[in-house]
Amino acid sequence: MDHLISPSLLAADFANLGNEINMVNDSAADWLHLDIMDGLFVPNITFGFPLLERIKELTVKPMDVHLMIVDPDRYLTRFRDAGANILTVQYEACTHLHRTVTAIKELGMKAGVALNPHTSVSLLKNILPYVDVVMIMSVNPGFSGQKFIQESYNKIEVLREMIDSGGYETLIEVDGGVDMDNAPKLVKMGANVLVAGASVFGASDPAEAIQRLKLLA
């Protein structure tokens, strides 16, 4: 399959949010990435439900929602109702991961699991058959604009082998420091979805930046 692009709204101009979302709507982007942070699991706070619901009214792209929060099980139904199409939880935040993933899918969303940079992909062996997306965090979660962690390439390569050898259809998503310098290698190593924040919304022409990431040209 061709790789997908999911621009991260965390890096957008919030004073101009409607226009930023319209730009993504009109672009070659496939999904719209939304980072939900609670100030506990990560040292930052972002979107709440009212804003998420408003974004859903404005976007025509599937909402790719990444929960960086403690005890995400409390809010799965509310994120579905707020418009999430893909809901990704942090491996490190889930005591009963299989239960959480199953609940997400029963609510009609695609289920994703994200791994922090220090977490080994080998820990996903028994959950891979049940998830639609694995997100490799290639920066420490919490803030946009961080430097890409080089070890992420190795994690993607190992995960790609695990998915292919198991015959799974799980997508590999990469989030953190993605730009035109590393995107070609990420796709070559097996990434299916690229989350791009600063490299898109910080560009002089964000729609062109999305197009270049989509075509890798």
Pairing of strands 86-90, 133-137: unpaired
Query: Which one from 30, 35, 64, 132 is the annotated catalytic residue?
Result: 35
Residues 6 or more apart whose Cβ sits within 8 Å of residue 51: none
Instruction: Find all residues with CB under 8 Å of 13, minimum gap 6, and list them.
Output: 20, 201
Instruction: Annotate 74-135 with DSSP letters as a single string.
Output: GGHHHHHHHT-SEEEEEGGG-SSHHHHHHHHHHTTSEEEEEE-TTS-GGGGTTTGGG-SEEE
Residues of the chain short of pLDDT 70, as ranges, are: 1, 142-145, 217
Q: What is residue 197's predicted lDDT score, i.e. its pLDDT?
A: 95
Catalytic residue among 38, 64, 132, 175: 175
Domains and CATH numbers, the chain: 4-215 (3.20.20.70)
Q: What is the pTM of this model?
A: 0.95
175 assigned to active site: yes
Active-site residue, 35 included:
yes
What local confidence, expressed as pLDDT, does residue 45 receive? 87
